[in-house]
A and B are shown apart, each in its own frame.
Chain A
Amino acid sequence: MNNMHAILLIAVISAVTMLLRFLPFWIFGNNRETPKFINYLGKVLPYAIMGMLVVFCLKGVSLLASPHGLPELISCAVVVVLHIWKRNTPLSIVCGTVCYMLLVQLVF
């Protein structure tokens, strides 16, 4: 594996990543009016995508093998309950994360 090829690989990966981020802006960004359908997607996608990202983060959890996803389940419950109760984003995240770290390091 020579360095030149590695540099080209990084350039290609970077270019494709940027293409994906910039493309919608190039296509729809300069029109005075964004098409209705795109506008609609822009409004509903954040709700749907945040759900998808939560599932994406938890995709590696195995329910069949020990500890059956318990650290994740408990920590997610802590985050949800704490957030409904206090509505304080940093607090929910810190407590959920500390809970998870304690569980995977000390308990399971």
Chain B
Amino acid sequence: MKCSNWEKMKNAFVATIPVMAGYIVLGIGFGMVLRTRDYGVLWALAMSVFIYAGSMQYVAIDLLTGGVSLITAALTTLAVNARHLFYSISMIDKYRNQKKKPFLIFGLTDETYSLVCSDAAEKSKDSSSYYFLVTLFDYLYWITGSVIGSLLGSLLPFRTEGIDFALTALFLTVFVEQWLTSKNHLAAIIGVVSSVICLLIFGSDHFLIPAMLLITLLLTLMRNKEGITNE
């Protein structure tokens, strides 16, 4: 029994290694920037523990130092994090009977989603503990990174420039894997093409929400196309 628990931990850990690289680096970056605005380690810790949303926390640094109104903060968060609605919708069935469901939902970030939505997660022998451990590990990496960044400031001895590409590589790998294991690529193509079109029209700061609307619209129109769900 001990051995199999050990194995579960090991499998989940191996799966989260790319997220570890990305989260620790991005977390360190977050902690460092926050420190330069005179918000120390307790602020970094509190934000990572309670907000736990990478890109939103970077945006939040500006909201904090700009002293914006609570309404502005709420609307900005809605805009930046609306994509999380999608992650939850696609995990409703898989998380339906999970014991630690509230924690799994709390920790459903982009990166954790990319690990738990894959078929590999479902096919692993004990998907419940895989979901939980992956979510927990990712959460700890992010908190650890932001605390380290806040404490060390700019004293880190090695050049990490470019290491955040690990997250791009992670999403791309999942995308390729999904492509190779599915017959129908319509949904994948809709995702890429809609995003690129909206990026060109609305620019890099404002394209996410239009892209999500366009994706939903196109997928809705195609819902009777045979084979689109790959089942």
Contacts and interface: CB of A to CB of B under 8 A. Distances in A.
A12, A22, A34 — most chain B CB neighbours (10 Å): A12
B50, B87, B168, B175 — most chain A CB neighbours (10 Å): B168
A104 B63 contact: no
Nearest to A60: B204
A42 B92 contact: yes
DSSP majority for the B interface?
helix
Contacts, number: 246
A29 B91 CA distance: 10
B58 to A, nearest CB: 12
| A interface bracket (residues with beta carbon within 8 Å of B) | 35 or more
B129 interface: no
Given A17-B53, A20-B78, A93-B170, A6 B39 contact: yes
Given A17-B84, A44-B187, A75-B165, A24 B89 contact: yes
A80 B161 contact: no
Nearest to B184: A47
Interface stretch (B136-144, B148-156, B190-198): B190-198
B223 A55 contact: no
Q: Which 3 A-B pairs have the closest CB atoms?
A: A51-B191, A48-B191, A47-B187
Interface of B: 14-15, 17-18, 21, 39, 43, 46-47, 50-53, 56, 60, 63-65, 67-68, 70, 73-74, 77-78, 81-93, 95-96, 101, 105-106, 108, 110, 113-114, 117-118, 159, 161-163, 165-178, 180, 182, 185, 187-192, 194-196, 199, 204, 207-208, 211-212, 215-216, 219-220, 223, 228-231
